[in-house]
Amino acid sequence: MKCPFCGHDETGVVDTRLSDEGDIVRRRRKCTACDKRFTTYERAEIQLPQVVKKNGLRADFSRAKLRASLELALRKRPVSIESVDAAVADIEEKLLTAGEREVSTQQLGELVMRELKKLDKVAYIRFASVYRNFEDVDAFSKAIREVSPTPKKK
């Protein structure tokens, strides 16, 4: 670590502490050349992938947009806020663990549909009708059959 006062390359760590939340490391350092002390902070940098839109433009991943999409599909449905939070967290975790620098809106939409299918079948159909842009009633019926349990034969 370079000294911010004299620019010397060698500094020593005098003290190390974790923040109250445990997500930031605070280090007190001392320059071996000028003996001045300074503080550095370390935190993990987690970067979600860029979203590649259908027209090829790229945008930063937005947790707020993801949440808004889920909430719109789940509007007036009996799904708890905690369940929506968990769905958003699951999607973010899948994006992080994939390790990709970019994700298409199609891939993101499929992740949203999987989560909605688990949360609420009506919300899943709502989202699918817009996302898949159903052209006719047959396509809509097919989507409903995907989530409807098949009747058991007697």
**60-76 pLDDT per residue, tens:** 999 999 999 999 999 99
**119-145 pLDDT per residue, tens:** 999 998 888 877 776 666 676 677 777
Lowest model confidence (mean pLDDT) among 20-24, 39-43, 53-57: 20-24
**Res 150 pLDDT > 70:** no
CA–CA gap between residue 79 and residue 77 (Å, rounded): 6
The reported pTM is: 0.63
